[in-house]
């Protein structure tokens, strides 16, 4: 009897037509990066993943102090300068530090110059950053209730900003928005990542999640991937991210960062594209200017940066 009812239920369901390939799908086969979204200032990133694509949920990860928040701010401010409304949600770095970073990157200023400014000058420079919204922990905390954790507040905030025309969002750091349930944090991170990915796809926006890789991942030796002297560094892999949470399961792109600190004015940075749903994985090198907190491409070898053309004779 039960089987009969089940059969009758199935027979009443409408039949679905076989899926046929569309012209858009055919074009995507030929050129997976045809929807290039918003270009970044980094040609290698644009060529590999198509920039900040519409509907993308990008995860940028590294161990603490490697520059992932600063890199995300560089990406964000470039969009603002191009007229794309962008939003930064940060509940870790603190308001004074974040605004200082923003001004250093946006105006190419060093720390000493900003520290010597008047309050009025700083406010004027900060107000001059157009197409930009910033929310910190104090903004978020006021909206959190027992029935509405931080991650739900963020989802509502993103929806509101979308209605205001915002297209690019940075969530920093991702895991801090899942602390409400410490006993089940990894499960909550997976759910939150799913909500962000669904929202990005539905509204055709780009959401970037800054993610701390937990300590204890096995260090792997960087060998002969550039002219950099071989050293021990924690090299992010997809397994590093899986050990942290389920965030990468829903990510469209995953980028790991390694910095090779130097005594010169620039660090060498290795950007590793570990996952690219419609692009290419791989890696490339850029410079990090510690004076203005900017990442610069093309990659310039520190010796050549210091000595110019004479570097060829030195080396």
For residue 123, give both structure tokens: 């406010």
Assess if residue 5 is contained within a domain: no
Summarize pLDDT for 139-182 with one digit per residue, the tens: 999 999 888 999 999 999 999 999 999 999 999 999 888 876 65
Which residue range(s) make up the domain with 41? 35-314
In degrees rounded to 5, what are phi and psi of residue 247?
-60, -35
For residue 16, give both structure tokens: 């679905």
- Contact by Cβ (8 Å): 175, 204: no
Assess if residue 135 is contained within a domain: yes
Assess if residue 11 is contained within a domain: no
Rounded to whole angstroms, how far apart are CA atoms 291 and 308?
A: 20
Cβ contacts of residue 278 below 8 Å, gap of 6+?
Answer: 28, 32, 33, 35, 49, 50, 53, 252
Assess if residue 152 is contained within a domain: yes
Rounded to whole angstroms, how far apart are CA atoms 116 and 248?
A: 42
Assess if residue 266 is contained within a domain: yes
Lowest mean pLDDT among 68-77, 126-135, 245-254, 284-293: 245-254
Domain count, the chain: 1
Assess if residue 8 is contained within a domain: no
Read off the CATH number of the domain in which 289 is found. 3.40.50.300
Assess if residue 30 is contained within a domain: no
Average pLDDT, integer, range 182-211: 87
Rounded to whole angstroms, how far apart are CA atoms 70 and 297?
A: 15
Assess if residue 162 is contained within a domain: yes
Q: Judging by DSSP bridges, how do beta strands 220-221 and 168-172 pair with one another?
A: unpaired
- Write down the pTM of the prediction: 0.82
Average pLDDT, integer, range 43-61: 94
**Site of tokens 């792997």:** 220
Rounded to whole angstroms, how far apart are CA atoms 59 and 253?
A: 6
Closest Cα to residue 87, out of 164, 175, 196, 161? 161
């Amino acid at each position: 009897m039960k089987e009969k009812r089940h059969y009758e239920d199935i027979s009443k369901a409408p039949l679905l037509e076989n899926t046929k390939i569309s012209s858009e799908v055919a074009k995507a086969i030929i050129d997976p990066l045809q929807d290039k979204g918003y270009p970044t200032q980094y040609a290698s990133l644009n060529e590999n993943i198509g920039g900040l694509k519409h509907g993308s949920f990008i995860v940028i990860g590294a161990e603490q102090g490697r520059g992932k928040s600063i890199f995300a701010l560089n990406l964000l401010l470039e969009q603002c300068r191009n007229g794309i409304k962008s939003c930064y949600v940060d509940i870790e770095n603190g308001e004074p530090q974040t605004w200082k970073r923003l001004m250093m990157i946006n105006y190419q200023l060093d720390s000493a110059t900003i520290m010597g400014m008047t309050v009025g000058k700083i406010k004027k420079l900060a107000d001059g950053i157009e197409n930009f919204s910033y929310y910190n922990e104090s903004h978020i905390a006021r909206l959190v209730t027992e029935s509405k954790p931080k991650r739900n507040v963020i989802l509502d905030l993103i929806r509101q900003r979308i209605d205001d025309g915002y297209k690019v969002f940075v969530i920093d750091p991702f895991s801090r928005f899942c602390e409400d349930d410490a006993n089940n944090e990894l499960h909550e991170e997976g759910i939150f990542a799913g909500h962000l990915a669904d929202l990005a796809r539905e509204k055709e926006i780009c959401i970037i999640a800054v993610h701390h890789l937990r300590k204890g991942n096995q260090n792997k030796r960087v060998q002969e991937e550039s002219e950099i002297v071989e050293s021990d560094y924690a090299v992010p892999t997809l397994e590093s991210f899986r050990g942290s949470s389920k965030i990468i399961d829903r990510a469209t792109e995953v980028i790991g960062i390694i910095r090779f600190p130097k005594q010169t004015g620039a660090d060498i940075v290795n950007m590793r594209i570990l996952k690219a749903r419609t692009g290419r994985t791989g890696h490339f090198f850029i410079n990090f200017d510690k004076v203005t907190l900017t990442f610069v491409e093309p990659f310039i070898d520190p010796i050549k940066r210091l000595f110019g053309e004479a570097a060829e004779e030195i080396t």
